[in-house]
Structure 1
Amino acid sequence: MDMASALEVDVNGEEKFFVDKKILSAFSGRFRNLFRNSSESGAKETLKIVLHGLPGGAEAFELMTRFCYNNGSIQINPTNTCILHLVANFMEMTDDISSSSNLIKQTEKSLDSIPYWSWSEVLTGLKQCQDCFLASNSSGVFDKILDSVVGRIVSASETSPSGFSPESSALRFSCDTRSTVSTKNGCNLAWWFEDLVVLKLDTIGKAVSCMVSKKFDHASISRFLFYYLKHRYLNATSDEKRKATEIVVDLLYSLDKSCVSCRGLFGILPVSSSLNVSKLCRNRLESMIGVQIDQATLDNLLVPAPNGMNSLYDVNLILRFLKYFLNNGEQISVSRLKKLGSLMDSYIAEVAPDHSLKPSKFVAITTALPDAARDSYDAVYQAIDMYLQVHPQLSEEEKIKVSSAINFDKLSSESCKLLTQNSKFPSRTAIQALIFQHSKLKSLLQNTTNLKKSSRQSADSEQIILHVNRPDLSMENEKLKSHLQGMQCRVMELEKVCRKMQTQLTQVKKTKLSSSNAGRSLPRLCS
């Protein structure tokens, strides 16, 4: 090599190459411009330069020099097309420099054949592009490769919804990777999960955006994102886990919320708390859980309280979930609301024995749902009974507030009776229960009396009709008479119960009056 044209190239600080600058300048506009004004006379030492940010690094530079030393010729195939295309753009190997042996043009011709590349070949190209993201994104090759990868996933799903890999001959391309359908914990993993799980976060973000634009199944996307995040947590630093969590939650938030697993979101929740993710990430995670909180289990809801919160469970978190759910408005069906009501009854039963749970928080959690969420308030009564038992120090006013969650109209007769005899409940609540029970009995008695009169009139009319038109139907008369006798017995029983309740009400009033402090007036409800 002529010393005048000798060149030492340091590629990204990785490796040094000794090349002929004349040969490289014949194909590279970057080298030609670099040495345009340099003097070659009297050169006694090898010229040295450093290339920073060369896409593909030393491997790409070596491929480029082979192309130049071989007079503008090199074997281009799917495994090196992307990396050659990126280095050719970086080194400005355009028509202006060499129209007959243009590396950019040759690689673009190879990129046109992407539809015929195998699955493993397009994955290799995608990995090369993500390693040189800035260069590949600016040249457009990244989008081409990514579109091919996503397109094959979508096509395979449409051709075989059950999740088979692109080995199908109907798709006309091969797959020689671990593309199989697997099942873990009852969750179907699509064939492409394992192949894409090794991609970087930025690449996954673009891939998901591409999938959404192609109307790909959101449920499949969300399952992949949970699977991807689980693998990202392996052998990762706290900062890497935090970044991965924030990006994945952001991607999940862009999907149809009904397609995102509530169980999967609860799996992210404790991790996000320990990683101190951004407030935006936390709010989005909670909102996604909240809109489908009726799908949760009791174990999901029993989230330990954070440090500094004086209670066993994070009741504030559950209240936020309920707020998101109720704000969902028109999408809440009656069945979903009642399912959530049943779940919350189980939850308040678990948190009621907590000595550290403040009355205001207990009231908030028992009254958070609308009345339509419950057909019965028996479970609420039992939870309040437990709460009052472990909080005997509550004032009368606090007890009244705690008991205000009960709808007596939806309290069974048995629970109502127990409440009136329960000394843990405030006197005002006990009297309310008696009044409601008395009112219900009185209403039932009135309805029964009206039914009795109506039945008698109907029986008299039917007896006349039977006597005139059907004298032979004595058996039906006997059945009707037996039915009326049964109703009369029931009326007598109800009258006895009503009188007993009136006596109980009088006794309770006298007892409460005698035990009250001097000068204390009766509740307005009793006057």
Structure 2
Amino acid sequence: MKFMKLGSKPDSFQSEGDNVRYVSSELATDVIVIIGDVKFYLHKFPLLSKSARLQKLITTSTSSSNEENQIHHHEDEIEIAEIPGGPASFEICAKFCYGMTVTLNAYNVVAARCAAEFLEMYETVEKGNLVYKIEVFLNSSILQSWKDSIIVLQTTRALSPFSEEMKLTGRCLDSIASRASIDTSKVEWSYTYSKKKNLDNGMRKPQAVPRDWWVEDLCDLHIDLYKRAISTIEARGNISADVIGEALHAYAIKRIPGFSKSSSVQITDFAKYRALADSIIELIPDEKRSVSSSFLTKLLRASVFLGCDEVTGLKNRVGERLDEANLGDVLLYDVDLMQSLVEVFLKSRDPREDDLTVKASVAKLVDGYLAEKSRDSDNLSLQKFLSLAEMVSSFPRQSHDGVYRAIDMFLKEHPEMNKSEKKRMCRLMDCRKLSAEACAHAVQNERLPMRVVVQVLFFEQVRANNNGSSSTGNSTPEVIPASRSTNTTDQEDTECWDTDDIKALRGELANLRLAKNQQENNNKGKLIKGGGLGVSRVFSKLWSGKERSGDMISSSGTSSPGSVNDDSKSSSSTSKKH
């Protein structure tokens, strides 16, 4: 930190209690200057030689007040109601008048400069006066230093409006902006940068100055000064929008409590942090990629928690980039907010563009969100679950494991659901797109409707048969699962599946897997004789039982496992006739 010493005489100011300061001297003091609640017992002559304002006050015998500056006169007593910096800054000026040693630095130089201006300590009064010396110090040292300029800028806020009238705040902002905008190859001063550095075999590589080298040092500024600093830097036009975005991210992390945490924190001064969040939102550059999606989602979460008024624009930016969001960042959103973000995402998509990958990312995010939110049974109703899930039900997914997990978690937390509600929920899931692990879990899942379990078992058989018969060219016809159907009869609400048959089907499926594994080990290239026949017999028994009970699916365009087998046989017999 830069500093400047003025004067050469030893400091002879002493205190008597907290409210009295006096100069230890053989000469009796002849004037009392009252600053706030502190009395200074001083000598007239040193003060008269340096301060034009004190000259007027001391030489004037009248006790009338100067209304403009709120200064009151008494015989040997002067009361100054307001002086920039209070007693501390006046003492610096008084010591300078006595020629005593005074040390100026970034923390007190603005207060001393404002007080010297107030006391009219100009060159016209005496050459080399305090105003001149402080200006030299500011221009040659303080404003040439990166960190000192930031410290000085912070002190100007407490000294407003004096610092504004003297353009000290603007000079600090210009100094900061000029250095932040300089070519990074010319940065030779120290700065704070705590991001992880690249290491090579435990040795730090020599690195160029990063583009965002300045962002952390500005995080100590009050939001009012920070807004002005960022605006001044942007106005120079040398800093890219993504670096400005990085600066805002760093500031939010440091200044908004719990910004980077996955849970809410206790905040007492909501108005303060609400204004802070609003200001950060206002500063976000218009460029779409200027800030990360993670930053936007966290800022939206904080803004909603703090009750910010203007979050529509931020909500739109988050929704448009919902495919980039992380699950951990959106888990603190309520379901209504999440649904509105999906709506924004859908409206922002161009129907002419093929954005399957983007939609798949959103589908995965929503599946994970529903699975985690299902643990909160009080705030996620069936209707809200279905409403959000159906918004992305048509989105492409390589696997429906995420959908299954969300459904299973919800069923687990809501055991009171009836069969009709369970079936409506399970229609969101395509059993053909479950992984082997998900299938293994589903067939043992007693929370699922029996019909869904049977479908899972059936498609496991299809998958096993296809894998086993691939070498011989045999194929299994495509099956449209009844779980995706929306048109079913009321009879579907009553299930007549035989539990023993289901157990038998599971056993046959296990045998089929074993046979398949043996075949792969033996590299025979053919299915082991009889593999899958037991499963087919059990399926035939199950579906014939359903026909006898009258509980058949009457959905158009939807096939049950039994109907597929019948269609396959019919197709086969027709081909034989030809």
Q: TM tier, shorter chain?
A: 0.5 to 0.7
Q: Are the counterparts in 2 of residues 400 and 429 from structure 1 also a CA contact under 8 Å? A: no
More helix by share: 1
Which deviations, in whole Å up to 9, do the C-alpha atoms of 1:178-216 show, x marking residues without a partner? x35433599x99654664444334333322333333343
Matching of residues 209-228 of structure 1 within 5 Å:
209-215=231-237, 216=239, 217-228=243-254
> How far, CA to CA, are the matches of 1:299 and 1:345 in structure 2?
13
Counterpart selection for 1:85 from 83, 88, 113: 113
Report the Cα offset of residue 361 of structure 1.
Answer: 1.6
Question: In 2 relative to 1, CA 192–326 (structure 1 residues): closer, same or farther, beyond 3 Å?
Answer: same
Counterpart selection for 2:81 from 48, 51, 54: 51
- Residue 182 in structure 1 maps to residue 212 in structure 2: no
Report the AA paired with residue 339 of structure 2. L
Question: In 2 relative to 1, CA 135–291 (structure 1 residues): closer, same or farther, beyond 3 Å?
Answer: farther
Matching of residues 282-301 of structure 1 within 5 Å:
290-301=319-330
Which deviations, in whole Å up to 9, do the C-alpha atoms of 1:440-491 show, x marking residues without a partner? 94799xxxxxxxxxxxxxxxxxxxxxxxxxxxxxxxxxxxxxxxxxxxx9xx
Partner of residue 477, structure 1? none
Report the AA paired with residue 177 of structure 2. V
Question: In 2 relative to 1, CA 507–382 (structure 1 residues): closer, same or farther, beyond 3 Å?
Answer: farther
Matched position secondary structure for 2:176? helix
Partner of residue 44, structure 2? 20
Aligned length: 425
Partner of residue 513, structure 1? 550
Report the Cα offset of residue 385 of structure 1.
Answer: 5.4
- Residue 280 in structure 1 maps to residue 309 in structure 2: yes
> How far, CA to CA, are the matches of 1:332 and 1:406 in structure 2?
23
> How far, CA to CA, are the matches of 2:91 and 2:435 in structure 1?
88
Q: Are the counterparts in 2 of residues 126 and 146 from structure 1 also a CA contact under 8 Å? A: yes
Counterpart selection for 1:251 from 273, 280, 287: 280
Question: In 2 relative to 1, CA 203–231 (structure 1 residues): closer, same or farther, beyond 3 Å?
Answer: farther
Matching of residues 145-160 of structure 1 within 5 Å:
145-155=172-182, 158-159=184-185
Matched position secondary structure for 1:280? coil
> How far, CA to CA, are the matches of 2:96 and 2:154 in structure 1?
23
Partner of residue 461, structure 1? none
Counterpart selection for 1:128 from 155, 158, 176: 155
Report the AA paired with residue 110 of structure 2. C
Q: Are the counterparts in 2 of residues 380 and 405 from structure 1 also a CA contact under 8 Å? A: yes
Matched position secondary structure for 2:157? helix
TM-score for both structures, normalised by structure 2: 0.54
Which deviations, in whole Å up to 9, do the C-alpha atoms of 1:230-284 show, x marking residues without a partner? 7999xx99446862464156325522464445555676788778xx623337777
Question: In 2 relative to 1, CA 241–214 (structure 1 residues): closer, same or farther, beyond 3 Å?
Answer: farther
> How far, CA to CA, are the matches of 1:430 and 1:349 in structure 2?
23
- Residue 229 in structure 1 maps to residue 217 in structure 2: no
> How far, CA to CA, are the matches of 2:435 and 2:254 in structure 1?
54
Matched position secondary structure for 1:85? helix
Counterpart selection for 1:199 from 200, 221, 230: 221
Matched position secondary structure for 2:247? helix
Q: Are the counterparts in 2 of residues 384 and 403 from structure 1 also a CA contact under 8 Å? A: yes
Q: Are the counterparts in 1 of residues 36 and 81 from structure 2 also a CA contact under 8 Å? A: yes
Structure 2, unaligned runs of 5 or more: 1-24, 65-72, 199-209, 260-264, 463-475, 481-525, 527-532, 559-578
Question: In 2 relative to 1, CA 371–515 (structure 1 residues): closer, same or farther, beyond 3 Å?
Answer: closer
Q: Are the counterparts in 2 of residues 180 and 191 from structure 1 also a CA contact under 8 Å? A: yes
Q: Are the counterparts in 1 of residues 230 and 244 from structure 2 also a CA contact under 8 Å? A: no
Which deviations, in whole Å up to 9, do the C-alpha atoms of 1:86-105 show, x marking residues without a partner? 2244345679x859788656
- Residue 140 in structure 1 maps to residue 167 in structure 2: yes
- Residue 359 in structure 1 maps to residue 382 in structure 2: yes
Matching of residues 284-433 of structure 1 within 5 Å:
290-303=319-332, 314-326=334-346, 328-329=348-349, 334-352=356-374, 355-356=377-378, 357-369=380-392, 371-377=394-400, 379-381=402-404, 383-384=406-407, 387-388=410-411, 391=414, 393-395=416-418, 398-399=421-422, 401-403=424-426, 405-406=428-429, 424-425=448-449
Report the Cα offset of residue 147 of structure 1.
Answer: 1.7
Report the Cα offset of residue 149 of structure 1.
Answer: 1.9
Question: In 2 relative to 1, CA 128–370 (structure 1 residues): closer, same or farther, beyond 3 Å?
Answer: same
Report the Cα offset of residue 363 of structure 1.
Answer: 0.5
Report the Cα offset of residue 505 of structure 1.
Answer: 11
Q: Which moved more, 1:144-153 or 1:15-24?
A: 15-24
Q: Are the counterparts in 2 of residues 126 and 142 from structure 1 also a CA contact under 8 Å? A: yes
Matched position secondary structure for 1:183? coil
Report the AA paired with residue 307 of structure 2. S
Percent identity between matched residues is 21
Report the Cα offset of residue 289 of structure 1.
Answer: 5.2
Question: In 2 relative to 1, CA 370–7 (structure 1 residues): closer, same or farther, beyond 3 Å?
Answer: farther
Report the AA paired with residue 185 of structure 2. T
Report the AA paired with residue 87 of structure 2. A
Question: In 2 relative to 1, CA 102–508 (structure 1 residues): closer, same or farther, beyond 3 Å?
Answer: farther
Report the AA paired with residue 336 of structure 1. V
Report the Cα offset of residue 148 of structure 1.
Answer: 0.6
Report the Cα offset of residue 57 of structure 1.
Answer: 2.4
> How far, CA to CA, are the matches of 1:201 and 1:125 in structure 2?
15
Matched position secondary structure for 1:130? helix
Q: Are the counterparts in 1 of residues 411 and 447 from structure 2 also a CA contact under 8 Å? A: no
Q: Are the counterparts in 1 of residues 319 and 342 from structure 2 also a CA contact under 8 Å? A: yes
Matched position secondary structure for 2:395? helix
Question: In 2 relative to 1, CA 50–284 (structure 1 residues): closer, same or farther, beyond 3 Å?
Answer: farther
